[in-house]
Amino acid sequence: MSPHVPQGPAVGLSQADFERVRSMIHRHAGIALGPSKKTMVHSRLSRRLRVLGRSDFAGYLDELERRGSEQPEWQEFVNALTTNLTAFFREAHHFPVLAQHLRQRAAHTPMQIWCCAASTGEEPYSIAMTARDAFGSQAMPPVSILATDIDTAVLEQARQGVYPIDAVAKLDPGLLRRHFLRGRGARDGLVRLRPELGAMITFRQLNLLQPRWPLQTRFDAIFCRNVMIYFDKPTQAQLLQRLAQRLKPDGLLFVGHSENFTRARELFELQGKTVYRLARAAR
Ligand SMILES: C[S@@+](CC[C@H](N)C(=O)[O-])C[C@H]1O[C@@H](n2cnc3c(N)ncnc32)[C@H](O)[C@@H]1O
């Protein structure tokens, strides 16, 4: 437990309140929390209640519902309930595919990539490193990355670009040298991404469920990895429909290893392992 979270009496989460939480987060963020997640919800929201000095879940949920999702506490509620597990070069087979795609498309510059569940930043920085290495001789690759997530706390961490050294322990030493700076003194045990990588990325909050995405462009590639697993089938289907509209005709969609969507065959065709391109009829 973080030292900043005040201790307080443990508060029980009734089944009825758990059901309310499930319904609220599903409506707002599309996250379908299974019935087995009660302990997780209890522990995460208890922390939030302690920070607020409150001891009643029902009153907290009443207030959230009464004041509507525009009020700031809703963001804290959402931040508490998201699962943000990620890693540098997770599902590593995607990155050589991306590098090749970018090189082939170099004539279409500038290129834009959307990383739509960016979490703490390891994924968009992996994309940026891949792009820099793909255009090795250029000072600045012709690629910009939009990194979004519903969770504002993880985006703040992502913007910092600072990670414990353990997070990069398995990366290739050459890649580490090219893209990371080692912390010294008070920052010993930490690494920081080189500023050129940060300069390629715009971090912004975006809920994939919000009715309008404030996006100006279609993308050369979209990374939508390990987020659809939290959504139910109708939400996944709607999201895929919207992602298809955001992809350039010859763009690529990268998804997580357990996110195959055979039901969206009219939209996407398989290009490689968990990499899709628009089906001809959808271009
Ligand atoms: C398990 S992480 C995956 C991170 C990264 N894409 C990866 O594959 O390593 C899932 C992320 O999806 C985000 N998320 C969940 N629901 C979302 C929504 N409705 N809109 C945008 N992001 C969402 C969470 O905040 C979390 O950071």
Q: Where are the domains of the chain?
A: 15-81, 94-282
Alpha-carbon span 168 to 191, nearest angstrom = 8
Q: Which atom of ligand 1 sits closest to the CA of residue 231?
A: 16
Mutate-to-test residue for ligand 1 from 81, 85, 122, 150, highest number of ligand atoms within 8 A of CB: 150
Structure tokens at 256: 């997580």
Structure tokens at 207: 């809920």
Q: How many CB atoms lie within 10 A of CB 166?
A: 9
Confirm or reject CATH 1.10.155.10 for domain 15-81, answering yes or no. yes
**Predicted confidence (pLDDT) at residue 79 exceeds the cutoff of 60:** yes
- Looking at residue 157, its pLDDT comes to 98
* First-to-final CA distance of the chain: 49
Element containing residue 129 per DSSP (H, E):
helix 122-134
Structure tokens at 146: 């939009």
Q: Which atom of ligand 1 sits closest to the CA of residue 207?
A: 20
Nearest to 18 by CA among 69, 52, 61: 61
**Predicted confidence (pLDDT) at residue 7 exceeds the cutoff of 70:** no
The predicted-structure confidence for 113-140, as pLDDT tens digits, reads as follows: 999 999 999 999 999 999 999 998 667 8
Write the CB contacts of 11 (distance below 8 Å, at least 6 apart in sequence).
46, 49, 55, 56, 57
Side-chain-side CA neighbours of residue 124 (13 Å): 32
Known catalytic membership, residue 132: no
The CATH class of the 94-282 domain is: alpha beta
Say if CB 13 and CB 45 are below 8 A apart: yes
- Looking at residue 140, its pLDDT comes to 82
The predicted-structure confidence for 251-261, as pLDDT tens digits, reads as follows: 999 999 988 77
